[in-house]
Structure 1
Amino acid sequence: MNDHHDHHGTHSDLHSEQGALRGEHPGRAANPIIKVHDIAWLEFQKPDLAAAETFAQAFGFATSLRTRDELHLRGTDAGAPCVIVRRGPRSQYLGAAFTAAEASDVLRLAEATGATSKKLPETIGGMGVDLVDPSGASIRVVADTHKLPSLPAQTPLTFNAGHEMVRANQTQRPLRQPATVQRLGHVVLQSTKYRETLDWYLHHLGLIVSDFLYYPGQRERGPTMSFIRCDRGSTPTDHHTIAMTLGPTNRYVHSAYQVADIDALAAGGELLRDLGYHRSWGIGRHIQGSQIFDYWRDPNGFLVEHFTDGDMFDCTLEPGWAQMTASGLAQWGPPATKDFLGMTPGRESLRELASMVTALRDDNEFDFMRLRGLMKVATS
């Protein structure tokens, strides 16, 4: 800590008890190509669009487009849909789209990468450029897409906090109904080339790191997870728009969708449980990002999160640093489940186990020492 204090002079620019040591990753690129404004939507492929829509509406999405081969799911905020589902033979995550701050940024990014900008389908509108990150994940940066009008939002409850009385002669009776989704908040991805992929996002999209995590006893080897936000200068943005973690496979981990408040989240969870859907982990409050969370599995096994009350940072805050532990994922709430950690016996955990063997043979960042660190995280 002394080393850190000497480096920064004061702790006024930190949100964490611990900042970078001298020579550690700065958490941002010196000269990014562009700075994206926000995450726009995620794309999935699923064989059964009817089942996907049934769960989505129980989860709190509204349907903005439904054809034989395509399903668009939206929140109440104006803008693009949150999720686009395409009909296909098997379930898979297809990629993420980010909104450019200016249309000219799409052209600048295309020119810098040698990619071609193109008109997007009429169902979305606008233009975009398609890229692939070092982990193989598809990334699309878009501009001038059709803007869906806002929908009526769920009204947050009024709270009497301690002795501060703002509600009198009125009861609290939140309905057991879907927790109306307002917007897409973030996506979490796992990468076998974590550091290379992290630097790619910082350089190409102008994202900046809010928090770094490192494996127990391995700080000197560098971080293994980062929570990354958009850089809108003095305008605060979500603590993370994308989070990235080192692992034995390149895969989607989860995505998160904002709801009005904790009662909307909890009552909506009761409804999902009544309908027979599987809660993966929750309800609790995270440490990095501070969100109140509740995680669910959709019928295709994808992990999705309701969240509310997340941290918002502007560009001035420096990255926090912390040790990665399973118990350090939440301030309060039940312990992280085996399902959430991907350790429940079944096809997914067997796939992850097999991929560990493959990853140790391949030329990537997931080596035997990192495997030991990951095992320590799961039991800590």
Structure 2
Amino acid sequence: MSQTRADEIGGRDLKTAHQDLHSEQGAVRGEHPGRSRNPVIKVVDLAWLEFEKPDLSRAETFARDFGFQIAARTERELWLRGTFSGPPCMVIRKGRASRFIGPAFRAAERTDLDRLAGATGTSVRESDVPGGGAAVGLLDPSGLPVRVVHGGETLPALPEQKPLLLNFGTEHGRRNATQRPPREPSRIQRLGHLVLETRVFARALDWYLDTLGMIVSDFLFLDGQRERGPTMAFLRCDQGSLAVDHHTLAMHLGPGTGYVHSAYQVTDLDSIAAGGEYLKERGYQRSWGIGRHIQGSQLFDYWRDPDHFMLEHFADGDLFSCDVEPGWAPMSASGLAQWGPPATRDFLGVNPSPAKVREVLRALRGDNELDPARLLGLMKAMNS
């Protein structure tokens, strides 16, 4: 690396708009800007996630234990919701095997669907979900089905788990009263974000920026490979001056394709902890937690459902408006949390298995962005 390049990375040529708001480093001149100059549309949020599973009764039992409410149930479909007003946050359809189908994003206006359909050579159709509405069906560069929806039924709000009243230093809001959070499921408020793995990270990143108008909050890069570009991005929706979740979608380069985990907001740390004890008592597997993230700052706790999908309880995440520039940081397992237990091999997805070896070999032989140097860099990051 040249001295000029090293000086730039050291901070002498960082974008001043970054202002160290959320990361020690900003972009170096010429690096990915983290947003599109002229996106087709700007989605405003995730609407819901779609899955298939063979046993809806088992899926419903876990859903209730994890803290979802049941929005609708038929012989073939299970719709899950949070307590906030809005659409359901997950649909599980009966299928032969357990698999993730894809996400649905919410468009701001009905005309956005027409513009999106025209730009992508698709069509606007009636949505095949309870409550109706319209939808455009797309495929991202990884081959994942992505829907963009508008309209449809808005579910009314449900009773909340109230945050505990806390005493801080000389601020004593709670007097003559004890803290006894009940041992019960964390009450899900809403769907927060989705994390995906892809072998075509750069293409997928640009697609979500150019097509759906998302913008990057933080980039991660591999040690010694920053000049090759990032290998993970945390993307938020662009709602102008309105501050929104640090990430609604996160993606990282890897040998696999598709779902990594999804995250659901709950009230506070006590909701996360008491709900975690409830899940543990019922024999579910904690993947990683409890801790606090760096990128996004969320309090987190990760669990596996009976079909081995990873789901996260989170609270107290960062909110960014459109004027916050992307942060840049090296990718590492130890850099995933400010405090908490070390990231587990299960969470990192590095448990060895014949299926994992086959996945890596297929990726290295394919037409994608994962080459031996990238793979070795990822392995080093997940062990650092």
- Report the TM range for the smaller structure's normalisation: over 0.9
**Distance in 1 between the 2:131 and 2:344 partners?**
38
Are the aligned partners of 1:255 and 1:304 in contact in 2 as well (CA < 8 Å)? Answer: yes
C-alpha separation in 1, matches of 2:241 and 2:319 = 11
From 254, 270, 275, the equivalent of 1:263 is 270
1:343 pairs, out of 334, 339, 350, with: 350
3-state SS, counterpart of residue 339 of structure 1: helix
The one-letter code sitting in structure 2 at the alignment partner of 1:171 is T
Instruction: Report the CA distance between 1:71 and its aligned residue.
Output: 0.2
Whether the 8 Å contact between 1:15 and 1:318 is mirrored in structure 2 is no
Give the structure 1 partner of residue 294 of structure 2: 287
By how many angstroms is 1:10 displaced?
A: 5.9
* Structure 2 unaligned residues grouped into runs of 5+: 1-5
Which residue matches 1:26? 33
Please identify, of 8-17 and 91-100, the stretch whose mean Cα deviation from structure 2 is larger: 8-17
Q: In structure 1, what is the equivalent of residue 3 of structure 2?
A: none
Q: Structure 1-normalised TM-score?
A: 0.97
Map 1:305-320 → 2, pairs under 5 A = 305-320=312-327
Identify the residue that residue 191 of structure 2 maps to in structure 1: 184
Match of 2:83 in 1: 76
Given that 1:14 and 1:319 are in contact with CA atoms closer than 8 Å, whether structure 2 keeps it comes out as no
Q: Is residue 253–residue 303 contact of structure 1 (8 Å, CA) maintained in 2?
A: yes
Aligned to 1:113: 120
Q: How far apart are the structure 2 equivalents of 1:202 and 1:10?
A: 20
Equivalents in 2 of 1:37, 1:367: separation in Å? 35
Q: Distance in 1 between matches of 2:196 and 2:18?
A: 30
Q: Is the 8 A contact 1:13 1:318 kept in 2?
A: no
Give the aligned residue type for 2:38: N
Q: Which residue of 1 aligns with 2:365?
A: 361
SS in 2 for 1:376: helix
Asked if 1:325 is matched to 2:332, the reply is: yes
1:352 maps to amino acid: K
Separation in structure 2 between the aligned mates of residue 69 and residue 123 of structure 1, nearest angstrom: 13
Counterpart code for 2:383: T
The 8 Å contact of residues 185 and 256 in structure 1, kept in 2 or not, is answered as yes
Q: Which amino acid aligns with 1:377?
A: A
Identify the match of residue 194 of structure 1 among 194, 197, 201: 201
Opposite residue 92 of structure 2, the aligned amino acid is: V
Residues 207 and 230 of structure 1 are in contact (CA less than 8 Å); yes or no, is this contact kept in structure 2? yes
Determine the structure 1 residue equivalent to 2:375.
Answer: 371
Q: Distance in 2 between matches of 1:213 and 1:358?
A: 24
- SS state of the match for residue 300, structure 1? coil
Q: Post-superposition shift, 1:114?
A: 0.5
In the alignment, the residues of structure 1 paired with residue 7 and residue 108 of structure 2 have an alpha-carbon distance, to the nearest angstrom, of 39
Contact residue 18 and residue 322 of structure 1 kept, 8 A: yes
Q: Secondary structure at the match of 1:231?
A: coil
CA change 1:13–1:114 in 2 (3 A) is farther
Q: How does 1:188-267 map to 2 (within 5 A)?
A: 188-267=195-274
Q: Which amino acid aligns with 2:78?
A: L
Deviations 1:225-284 (A, max 9, x none): 000000000000000000000001212000000000000010000000000000000000
Residue number in structure 1 paired with 2:108: 101
- Tell me which amino acid in the other structure corresponds to 1:277: Y
CA RMSD across the alignment: 1.2
Give SS of 2:351's match: coil
Match of 2:23, SS state, is coil
Distance in 1, matches of 2:26 and 2:268, equals 31
1:5 Cα shift? 4.5
Relative to structure 1, is the Cα distance of residues 350 and 364 closer, same or farther in structure 2, using a 3 angstrom cutoff?
A: same
* Correspondence for 2:59 among 44, 47, 52: 52
**C-alpha distance in structure 2 between counterparts of 1:146 and 1:110, whole Å:** 22
Amino acid aligned to 2:355: R
- Give the C-alpha shift of residue 372 in structure 1: 0.5
Does the aligned pair in 1 maintain the 2:272–2:313 contact within 8 Å? yes
Residue 63 of structure 1 and its aligned partner are, at CA, apart by 0.4
* SS of residue paired to 1:36: coil
Distance (Å, rounded) in 2 between the aligned partners of 1:358 and 1:11: 39
How far is 1:2 from its partner? 5.7
Assess if the C-alpha contact under 8 Å between 1:13 and 1:316 holds in 2: no
Q: CA deviation at 1:6?
A: 3.8
The one of 149, 165, 174 aligned to 1:167: 174
TM-score, normalised on structure 2? Answer: 0.96
- Per the TM alignment, residue 122 of structure 1 is displaced from its structure 2 partner at its CA by 5.2
Number of residue pairs matched?
377
CA 1:7–1:344 in structure 2 vs 1: closer, same or farther (change >3 Å)? closer
Indicate the SS of the match to 2:218.
Answer: strand
State the distance in 2 between where 1:225 and 1:31 align.
22
Q: Secondary structure, in 3 states, of the residue corresponding to 1:271?
A: helix
2:18, 2:324 within 8 Å by CA — same for their partners in 1?
Answer: no
Identity within the alignment, %? 60
Q: For the residues of structure 1 that align with 2:255 and 2:188, how far apart are their CA atoms?
A: 32
Structure 1 position 341, deviation (Å)? 1.1
Judged with a 3 Å threshold, the aligned counterparts in structure 2 of structure 1 residues 374 and 6 are, in CA distance, closer, same or farther, namely closer
Residues 172-205 of structure 1: CA deviation (Å, up to 9, x unaligned): 1000000000000000000000000000000000
Is this contact kept in 2: 1:285–1:291, CA < 8 A?
yes
Residue 99 of structure 1: how far off its partner (Å):
0.5
